[in-house]
Amino acid sequence: MRVPFLDLTAQYNEVKPEIDAAVAEIFATSAYVLGKWNKKLEADIALMHGVKHAIAVNSGTDALRIMMQASGIGPGDEVITTAFTFVATVETIVQIGAVPVFVDIEEDTFNIDPTKIEAAITPKTKAIMPIHLFGQLVNVKEVKRIADKHGLLVMEDAAQAICNHHEGVYAGNWGHAAGLSFYVTKNLGAAGDGGMILTNDDEIARRSISLRIHGMGRERYYYDEIGYTSRMAELQAAVLAIKLQKLEQWNSRRAELAEKYLYGWNGQPIGLPVTSAGNNNTWHQFTVRHPRRDSLMAHLKSREIDSGIYYPVPLHHHEPYRSFTKATTSLPVTEKVSLECLSLPIHQHLTDDQAQFVVSSVSEFLALP
């Protein structure tokens, strides 16, 4: 039975009439940039996350870069983060002239290990950038406690964390700012690229709004600082605002599928993802760990089940980022997890039969001698 990793056509078909109408209206009115759909998307997400400001930008990468710059992070500053993430986290730190400092992750949540943070703090440390990976928040209370103790900024990489909260407090409220991604494959995905900055800080919001349009803050064609071109297209904002209405329902289906997997492999020799107490999990990925990961992947492929490796090589091993690894850096959990992790299909359009087939196919592999 074919089990695809994603089904973007099914997703579109669920909201086709609304999207088609919005696209037709945008063309008919030629309202292509920063119009009513941008405003609606910003207002709806600000409400959902309970934040004061939501600023739509062109990508999650831009959200991270702009919010760090708007927070005053720059050349020479050190930013503590992890190497088990998508490259954009670290790329943007380097692009604003700052220096990424890697600490290790927790094996069962894949998120930053807060017990490793304090040893990495130096007089140059300006911020911590924790990544809320795969659909749940990091240990936000502990990260915030450490940041407050040392007077550091917290920049949440919330690219995978729309709808995520800890004890009801959503991403964007734990740090000084958070960056969401709406890349196609995210739980809320655009028809291309999109991102958003969330913050309760008026000054970070003011500077972010200016930076997204060339630093043109006060008045048209007057520039306060050197900025970017990072407006979100109205077409993308419309697609996202329409899909947002479905997001909670879609996330519930992901949670049902996760339950089936967790139940199906309970007690079997495979590392299952753990949701930390107080967190909700939106299951952006369902990632297991197995020492023979590549064989498991090949076995699933032979059954026509897609799977993916997020992330096969930690960032400190890639040529452009090697120089940021200090001689004392030791990331044993990151190294191990990169060799063992495998993400399984968990999108909302998976049928019960397909999920059951994934359960039995993985179990079949686990029973092999």
Ligand X SMILES: Cc1ncc(COP(=O)(O)O)c(C=O)c1O
Contact residues: ligand X, CB under 6 A: 59-61, 85-86, 88-89, 131, 157, 159-160, 181, 183, 193, 195
Read off the tokens for 192. 């291309």
CA distance linking residue 286 with residue 30, whole number of Å: 41
Nearer to ligand X, 26 or 66 (CB): 66
- Whole-angstrom CA distances from 308 to 160, 163, 286, 297 are 16, 23, 10, 8
Smallest separation (angstroms) from ligand X to the CB of 139: 17
Nearer to ligand X, 181 or 361 (CB): 181
Smallest separation (angstroms) from ligand X to the CB of 364: 31
365 class by beta-carbon count within 10 Å (0-12 exposed, 13-18 middle, 19+ buried): buried
CA distance linking residue 190 with residue 181, whole number of Å: 9
Smallest separation (angstroms) from ligand X to the CB of 60: 2
Smallest separation (angstroms) from ligand X to the CB of 190: 9
CA distance linking residue 238 with residue 234, whole number of Å: 6
CA distance linking residue 171 with residue 158, whole number of Å: 7
Q: Give the closest residue to 82 by CA, choosing from 120, 36, 30.
A: 120
Q: Which helix (H) or strand (E) holds 204?
A: helix 202-211
Smallest separation (angstroms) from ligand X to the CB of 136: 13
Q: How many CA atoms lie within 13 A of 293 on its CB side?
A: 21
Q: Angle 10-283-110 (CA atoms, 0-180°, nearest 5)?
A: 140
Pair 92, 64: CB distance under 8 Å: yes
Smallest separation (angstroms) from ligand X to the CB of 2: 25
CA distance linking residue 114 with residue 320, whole number of Å: 26
Nearer to ligand X, 154 or 362 (CB): 154
Pair 74, 97: CB distance under 8 Å: yes
Smallest separation (angstroms) from ligand X to the CB of 43: 21
Nearer to ligand X, 105 or 362 (CB): 105
Smallest separation (angstroms) from ligand X to the CB of 157: 5
Nearer to ligand X, 37 or 110 (CB): 110
Nearer to ligand X, 175 or 270 (CB): 175
Nearer to ligand X, 89 or 208 (CB): 89
Residue whose Cβ sits closest to ligand X: 60
Read off the tokens for 342. 């495998």
Nearer to ligand X, 67 or 146 (CB): 67
What secondary structure does DSSP assign to 262-301, as a single string?
Answer: HHHTTTSSSBPP-PPTTB----S-EEEE-TTHHHHHHHHH
Helix (H, G, I), strand (E, B) or coil at 55: strand
Smallest separation (angstroms) from ligand X to the CB of 195: 5
Nearer to ligand X, 212 or 299 (CB): 212
